[in-house]
Structure 1
Amino acid sequence: MSHRNAIILILIAAVLWGTTGTAQSFAPSSAHPVAIGAIRLAIGGIALLVLVVIQGKFYIRNWPKWITFLAALAMAAYQPLFFSAVLWTGVAVGTVVAIGSAPILAGIMEWLFYRIIPDRRWWLATILAITGCSLLVSNDQAVAISPLGILMAVGAGLSFATYTLFSKKLLEQHHSEVVVAVVFTLAAILLSPILLLYDFTWLLQTNGITVALHLGILATAIAYLIFSRGLIRTSAATAVTLSLAEPLTATVLGMVIVKENITTQILPGLILIFTSLVFLSFRKSS
């Protein structure tokens, strides 16, 4: 696979992730965001596990236990951390801190663990994308800053960066579909206690199960499988920055499908993110 094709795969995955917010808007009002995140992970993990079992590729030998566990723990932690951050500090601040901190943290972690220093092109693309994200979620209302919410948002960004970094390490030894299946199944198991804390009767409604299946299969199982395949040929830092196509997609879908209000900051925000992705996509090396 070429580097350019890998970038395309990661962008496709980010677009699929970008459908999450719009899909959730169609869920029953009784569906708590954290509960949606937990069931999304459970469905995605089961779907991926069934896939590799049918393909005859599933195995549990020769897995680096700590790296596998940390990747799964990071994925399990992301859902409650992100949704709790949004609950404590609001959608705007929570989203910007979580999504904006992930590329920076991925770059720092890649330097600490593998001594890979992101180049100037990556830094410029990341700064442009984070600025664009800030514009997308900014509004004229007063913003309440919660230290705990900020901490949870940074934790969510760290979780995604950690998942990406350790998944890339696992991909050096195992097939992408097996890596995603094992990590997500373990993550779903780690997150299973949440099933005892929330009401899941909304899954009995047509729109509830439809949203859950969309999020679990399309926006999780398929999206992360595609992301992992692209990750093989890109650095973790680059992959996380490219994933900022997610808020771009979410914003466009929100305007077109959910009919959300368009503010004066949205258009330049979209342009900045799009520019950063194009700029990073045409780099010569990973």
Structure 2
Amino acid sequence: MKLSVLLVLMAAILWGTTGTAQALAPTNASPLVIGALRLLIGGGTLLIYIAFQRNFTIKGIPKKALFISALAMALYQPFFFSGVHMTGVAIGTVVAICSAPIFAGLIEWLIYHRLPDWVWGLSTILAVIGCLLLFQSEESIVFDPLGVLFSLIAGLSFAIYTFVSKSLVAEHPPDVVVALVFSSAAVFLLPLLFTADLSWTLQWSGMLSVLHLGILATALSYILFARGLKGVAASTAVTLALAEPLTASILGLFLLGEKLTLLSGFGLVLLMAGLILLSNKQRFKNVRA
């Protein structure tokens, strides 16, 4: 397994904890505020991190690409957390992340005029079907159309972020790119905090939740993801990010008391098979050749 693939998978595993972290936060914690605080803490942590690096520079980074990447990430936060809040941890996470590879494939085809290879196609089909079957992990599901729409918008935002960030890290240091993107995205969402009720952040559960989301599930995870992007295609990285709902489902089982049915268990197997196939992409391509 390539190091770049491993880095993306490690990032996705950290992202898989976001829904659970939100669920364990105080009940009066707003999903919009959680998303804004996540970016504010994550962006601040990243800026402090690169400030201690020697000879780092922000010169030459294209402002348009930086703006699009930051805006996509700023949109991802409130739509993802709102989707999770309205549809539940499992469904919100699965819809957002499972739609992202489909959007990524369309972007690569329509904008970059490239068709992803057969390994990506097969592994994405397996992983997406596996994610859909994970819906069965919740016995009582209330379908919320608006929540699903929010999750789909989050998936599109993540796909756009990945493609634009791929172009940025190809020419510039990944750590600097991530720090600038997330600190800029935090500025977009900063107005949400001016009138929000932040009293829940003074509770231990709230404080630990936002610190985990900001430092581990944002600052650390997106540095890993950006470094991994240097060695894998954007569409491949988005599919590998499906390790997020896998992690979310496992955490839902053991920490939130969600139940695993036979069908959802089969979904887990398919999802893992798709990730294993894509993680060893070159080996399978060589076997077919």
Return the TM-score normalized by structure 1: 0.91
User: Of the candidates 265, 270, 289, which is equivalent to residue 267 of structure 1?
Assistant: 265
Give the aligned partner of residue 174 of structure 2: 176
Runs in 1 of length 4+ with deviation above 6 angstroms?
none
Give the aligned partner of residue 60 of structure 2: 62
Matched, 1:190 2:181: no
1:117 shift after superposition: 1.4
Question: What SS does the corresponding residue of 2:282 show, helix, strand or coil?
Answer: coil
Describe the shift of the 1:27–1:87 C-alpha distance in structure 2 as closer, same or farther (beyond 3 A).
closer
Q: Percent identity?
A: 52
1:264 shift after superposition: 2.8
Question: What SS does the corresponding residue of 1:101 show, helix, strand or coil?
Answer: helix
- For 2:32 and 2:172, the matched residues in 1 are separated by 31
1:17 shift after superposition: 0.8
- For 2:52 and 2:164, the matched residues in 1 are separated by 26
Give the aligned partner of residue 200 of structure 1: 198
1:213 shift after superposition: 1.0
- For 2:276 and 2:175, the matched residues in 1 are separated by 27
| Correspondence list, 1:63-142, <5 A | 63-87=61-85, 94-138=92-136, 139-141=138-140
Question: What SS does the corresponding residue of 2:276 show, helix, strand or coil?
Answer: helix
User: Of the candidates 149, 153, 158, which is equivalent to residue 155 of structure 1?
Assistant: 153
Describe the shift of the 1:206–1:150 C-alpha distance in structure 2 as closer, same or farther (beyond 3 A).
closer
Give the aligned partner of residue 20 of structure 1: 18
* Further displaced range: 122-131 or 83-92: 83-92
| Contact 2:68-2:161 at 8 Å conserved across structures | yes
The AA in structure 2 aligned to 1:52 is I
The AA in structure 2 aligned to 1:10 is V
* Further displaced range: 29-38 or 214-223: 29-38
Question: What SS does the corresponding residue of 2:3 show, helix, strand or coil?
Answer: helix
* Further displaced range: 92-101 or 221-230: 92-101
The AA in structure 2 aligned to 1:110 is E
Describe the shift of the 1:142–1:36 C-alpha distance in structure 2 as closer, same or farther (beyond 3 A).
closer
- For 1:78 and 1:271, the matched residues in 2 are separated by 28
Deviation sequence 1:179-231 (CA, Å, 0-9, x none) = 10000000001111111342111111222111111111111100000011011
The AA in structure 2 aligned to 1:42 is L
User: Of the candidates 258, 261, 266, which is equivalent to residue 256 of structure 2?
Assistant: 258
- For 1:48 and 1:164, the matched residues in 2 are separated by 18
User: Of the candidates 224, 227, 231, which is equivalent to residue 226 of structure 1?
Assistant: 224
> Structure 2 regions of 5+ residues with no counterpart?
none
| Contact 1:16-1:219 at 8 Å conserved across structures | yes
Give the aligned partner of residue 51 of structure 1: 49
**What is the Cα-based RMSD across aligned positions, in Å?**
2.1
Report the count of equivalent residues: 283
Describe the shift of the 1:57–1:16 C-alpha distance in structure 2 as closer, same or farther (beyond 3 A).
farther
| Contact 1:42-1:216 at 8 Å conserved across structures | yes
Describe the shift of the 1:215–1:90 C-alpha distance in structure 2 as closer, same or farther (beyond 3 A).
closer
Question: What SS does the corresponding residue of 2:190 show, helix, strand or coil?
Answer: helix
Describe the shift of the 1:217–1:145 C-alpha distance in structure 2 as closer, same or farther (beyond 3 A).
closer
Deviation sequence 1:50-70 (CA, Å, 0-9, x none) = 100111354332121111000
- For 1:201 and 1:143, the matched residues in 2 are separated by 30
Give the aligned partner of residue 245 of structure 2: 247
The AA in structure 2 aligned to 1:46 is G
- For 2:223 and 2:101, the matched residues in 1 are separated by 20
The AA in structure 2 aligned to 1:260 is E
- For 1:202 and 1:145, the matched residues in 2 are separated by 26
Give the aligned partner of residue 2 of structure 2: 4
| Correspondence list, 1:23-38, <5 A | 23-38=21-36
